[in-house]
Amino acid sequence: MTKAMAPRSRKVRVLATLGPASNSPEMIAKLFEAGADAFRINMSHGDQTSKVAVVQAIRSLEKRFGRPSTILADLQGPKLRVGKFAEGRVTLETGQVFRLDRSTEPGDATRVELPHREIFAAIEPNARLLLDDGKLVLRVTEHGEDFITTRVEVGGVLSNNKGLNVPDVVVPMAALTEKDRSDLAWAVEQGLDWVALSFVQRPEDLMEARRLLQGKAALLAKIEKPAAIDRLDEIVEQCDGVMVARGDLGVELPPQQVPPLQKRIVEVSRRMGRPVVVATQMLESMIKSPSPTRAEVSDVATAIYDGADAIMLSAESAAGDYPIESVSMMNAIGESVERDPSHGDRVHFTVTKPDPTTADALAEAAKDITDTVSASAIICFTMSGSTARRVARERPAVPILVLTPSPETARRLGLLWGTHAVLTRDVESFEEMVAKSKRMALRHGVAAAGDRVIVMAGVPFRTPGSTNVIHVVRIMGDELKNYGTSASG
């Protein structure tokens, strides 16, 4: 029988991106052992067929390690690009005039095709156009139905099909491209747990993805456009989770504005009870180096002190030379920060007031009781995972052991702070709830003889969204030799 892996000793989750350096079953298992709690599949690269084996390798971890696996599919989103040049590239000089138009003729140093009709309709005078990840900056001086005239503010070399960012206006483009719809359908077919939507600008952008998912995967909104900040609360309310995607956010905004925005996004997400992932360039130097810079370590630590649910590796684990070392370093930083005596106070700088519901009141009470009676763990019986999310929002000082009969719920919780999900049969009675709580607490090492645990559940049992019971349980010494060993509990 497979012995279940013990809960992580840290509460922040580690999300590792898979790619050429880490797609093999052997490497995926090593990353999991090194500390990866969830895996990101970037739909921008490769084809769907090649990713099926990756999904199967991740799911095989469940049998080997006795705990749920978590997979996030990250959709590419609409990519804005300029057309091609007759010579393949041109050099734009600062101060010169440069025109973007609808003509399909190869471009030169004076003009190039812009094959996105929506931009011509939305653009405004004095708006900026950022090319090649912000390396070149154009300022709009004039525009019409099929042309945009600009002055080059920051020049440089511009080559074929380079990316374009439009930070100063909301471009009314569909949030899902045809490729995204195909990739989303594939993710649902494969039973993936989370789907991330790129370049969200408005809450309306989430609606089509939500409809297509039909509840079969959780929806994560990537915040990487300045327009999204203007309607942040509405966007967070419409999704199941949030990613602070600092790459494009740092292209479209001055770099110095990103850190306070990161804190704001984390705060709003936590306040509204949505898991929040901080991503991009966290350990960037580890793509080529076996150790990070001190600044990178501080960056990761800051996200953890702010109370982010998860921290993400991108190219470090997907294409770098040291994927295992990168995950191990994330794991080590998380453990070190959470051992800091001030960590508990810092994660509570964000005030998370409960909604006026019984479930929220009980989640807040569970944390307070845990502190008062020095309980060792909070145990949640849940069908949908909502109880676990409410408890995690309070950032208790103890592990959250989540017992659920739903494989989908158990897997989705891989991005939720402080939780250790266990797939197990549901209970039928109050007495069975208490007995199972003791048994699971002992089996998974979150409590010992003499400890108290806090138990939360809903009565009648097996009723989603009915959390109305909180109970303090003491584990007696003689129960150490009496609890069973069946994996299903």
Q: Over the stretch 226-247, which tens digit does the pLDDT of each residue have?
A: 999 999 999 999 999 999 999 8
**What confidence category does residue 479 fall into, taking pLDDT thresholds of 50, 70 and 90?**
low
pLDDT of residue 61: 97
Residue 464: pLDDT above 80?
no
Residue range(s) occupied by CATH 2.40.33.10 in the chain: 89-165
Q: What is the pLDDT of residue 1?
A: 39
Strand partners, 483: none
- Cα–Cα separations (whole angstroms), residue 117 to 103, 123, 165: 12, 10, 15
| Listed range (33-37, 48-52, 377-381, 480-484) with the worst mean pLDDT | 480-484
Q: What percent of the chain has pLDDT over 90?
A: 85
DSSP state of 291: S
Which residues are 337's β-sheet partners? none
Mean pLDDT of 460-484: 73
Q: Is 81 a catalytic residue?
A: yes
pLDDT at 165: 92
CATH 3.20.20.60 fits 13-77+175-341, yes or no: yes
- How confident is the model over 111-115, as a mean pLDDT? 96
Which pLDDT score, from 0 to 100, does residue 488 have?
A: 35
Q: Which CATH number, 3.40.1380.20, 3.40.50.2000, 3.90.79.10, 3.30.70.890, labels domain 358-480?
A: 3.40.1380.20
Instruction: Tell me which amino acid residue 62 is.
Output: E
Considering 8, 40, 67, 395, which one is annotated as catalytic? 40
On whether the CB atoms of residues 315 and 19 are closer than 8 A, the answer is yes
**pLDDT at residue number 418:** 97
* Residues 44/315, Cβ–Cβ less than 8 Å: no
| Cα gap 346→287, rounded to integer Å | 30
Q: Phi-psi region for residue 202, left (φ > 0), alpha (ψ -120 to 50) or beta?
A: beta
Residue of 13, 222, 390, 443 marked catalytic: 222
For 384, list phi and psi in degrees, rounded to 5.
-100, -15
For residue 358, the model assigns a pLDDT of: 87
Q: In which band, very low, low, confident or very high, does the pLDDT at 362 lie, cut at 50, 70 and 90? A: very high
> At residue 130, does pLDDT exceed 50?
yes
Q: What is the rounded average pLDDT of the residues 52-75? A: 97
Alpha helices in 161-318 (DSSP H): 178-189, 205-213, 226-230, 232-238, 246-252, 258-271, 294-305, 315-318
359, pLDDT greater than 90: no
Among residues 30, 64, 81, 179, which one is catalytic? 81
Q: What tens digit of pLDDT does each residue of 275-286 get?
A: 999 999 999 999
40 is catalytic: yes
Mean pLDDT, residues 429-439 taken together: 92
pLDDT at 213 over 60: yes
Place of tokens 């020095």: 374
CATH 3.40.1380.20 residue ranges in the chain?
358-480
What is the Cα–Cα distance from 149 to 105, expressed in whole angstroms?
17
Among 90, 79, 85, 170, smallest CA distance to 136 is for 90
Q: Does pLDDT of 459 surpass 90?
A: no
Q: Where along the chain do the CATH 3.20.20.60 domains lie?
A: 13-77+175-341
DSSP string computed for 362-409: HHHHHHHHHHHHT-SEEEEE-SSSHHHHHHHHT--SS-EEEEES-HHH
Predicted local confidence at residue 465, as pLDDT: 64
Q: Is residue 246 annotated as part of the catalytic site, yes or no?
A: no
Map tokens 């990866």 to a residue. 36
CA distance 366 to 56: 37
Helix, strand or coil, per DSSP, at residue 359: helix
What kind and span of H or E run contains 456?
strand 452-458
Chain centroid, CA 231 distance in Å: 19
117 carries an active-site annotation: no
**At residue 24, what are phi and psi to the nearest 5 degrees?**
-75, 150
- Predicted TM-score (pTM) of the model is 0.91
Question: How far apart, in Å, are the Cα atoms of 300 and each of 26, 76, 307, 326, 424?
Answer: 27, 25, 11, 12, 34
Q: Residue 239 burial by CB count (10 A; 0-12/13-18/19+): exposed, middle or buried?
A: buried
How many CA atoms, within 13 angstroms, populate the side-chain half-sphere of residue 207?
A: 6
What pLDDT score was predicted for residue 79? 87
Mean pLDDT value across residues 172-187: 94
- pLDDT of res. 329: 98
- Report how far apart the first and last C-alpha atoms of the chain are (Å, whole number): 13
Give residue 477's pLDDT.
66
Please choose, from the candidates 408, 24, 404, 421, the residue with its C-alpha nearest in 3D space to the C-alpha of residue 194. Answer: 408
Please determine, for residue 91, whether its predicted confidence score (pLDDT) is greater than 70: yes
Mean of the pLDDT values across residues 319-338? 98
Architecture of domain 89-165: Beta Barrel (2.40)
Which residue is catalytic, options 17, 70, 150, 280? 280
**pLDDT > 70 fraction of the chain, expressed in percent and rounded:** 96
Q: Is the pLDDT of residue 389 over 50?
A: yes
Banded pLDDT at 487 (limits 50, 70, 90): very low
